[in-house]
Amino acid sequence: MDLSEKKEVTVKDIPDPIMTKVSSFPSMPQAVIKLRALLAKEDVAMDEIEAILRHDPGLAANVLRLANSAFFGVPRKVETLKHAVTLLGVRRLAKIAVSAGMSKNMGKAVEGYALTPGELWLHSIAVSNTAEVLAKQKNFAETDDVFTPALLHDMGKLVLGQFVKEELQQFERIAAKGVPLDVAEHMVLGTDHAEIGAAILAKWSFPADIVRAVRWHHNPERNKKSTSKSDITYLSNLMCQPQGGSDSADGQPVMLSSAVLDRLGIKVGQYEAIAAKTKSWMTKLSDTLTFD
């Protein structure tokens, strides 16, 4: 049976060795938990952000490093967190801090997927930024919420990378046939990185709509409760692929979901224009930030 025809997969369907890794996956960093709580508030005070970052000098340094990247278009060097607020705004700075905080989880190389140190993290930041741009352009009220699933959509790769590496020859054979990445993962491992990412977020007690947006970021047509949040997460991820929409095991472009474009009111030409801009953003970001 074709994967697209399968019923929605539950945690019970995840193979035991992989589920064991999900169960032992580290908790979200405490600083990120606190920063996310601030973003849930209507008004965020700079003093609250500083109080969190004061206890984590390394995170504070990463926030300034990220804020100073050309990716965010700040016209001059950001010297302090207060200066960053002046140039970026409090809420924007808080989101940059969340992104910087996730570098501890997502900044490592991911074997199996051939991701170099920092590559997964940089991609995730680009997707979250693109998602916010789309949300603002379409005047969606979910701008704050769409940031989270877009940033965390590929968390499952941190668990599955080891298993992909162990079965790399099988993946390479399947890749030669142009099979979509998530389908290849299911064929070889019995699950995919979107499902594992959703399991991690469920373990972290994220809201169901965020978990669902991560779960179906490759297959929006299978999302029974589709929202603009999940549609934007799907589209933003495609826009930030190196091949301009590659989502298959061999890097070949995939077909855009016309249903998603229709629901969001986006024409193919608009999609291509925004996708081109994301490539420029990602180049600026990768040129600024380096990893060992």
The pLDDT tens digits for 91-100 are 888 999 999 9
The model carries a pTM of 0.88
**For residue 196, with 0-12 CB atoms within 10 Å meaning exposed, 13-18 middle and 19 or more buried, which class applies?**
buried
Q: Measure CA 135 to chain center.
A: 15
Segments in 153-239 forming alpha helices (H): 156-166, 168-175, 181-189, 193-203, 208-215, 228-239
Mean pLDDT, residues 125-146 taken together: 82
Percent of the residues in the chain that have a pLDDT greater than 70, as a whole number: 88
More confident residue, 87 or 255: 87
pLDDT tens per residue across span 269-283: 888 888 888 878 777
Tokens 């490539």: give the residue: 279
Identify the pLDDT of residue 3: 39
Identify the pLDDT of residue 244: 44
Helix (H, G, I), strand (E, B) or coil at 257: coil
Whole-number Å distance between alpha carbons of 151 and 146 = 9
Each domain of the chain, given as residue ranges in start order, spans 3-26+109-288, 30-101
Least confident of 33-37, 55-59, 72-76, 264-268: 72-76
Identify the pLDDT of residue 10: 56
Mean pLDDT, residues 250-272 taken together: 80
What is the fold, at CATH topology level, of the domain defined by 3-26+109-288?
Answer: Hypothetical protein af1432 (1.10.3210)
pLDDT tens per residue across span 29-62: 999 999 999 888 888 888 999 899 988 888 998 8
Whole-number Å distance between alpha carbons of 25 and 13 = 18
Whole-number Å distance between alpha carbons of 195 and 186 = 10
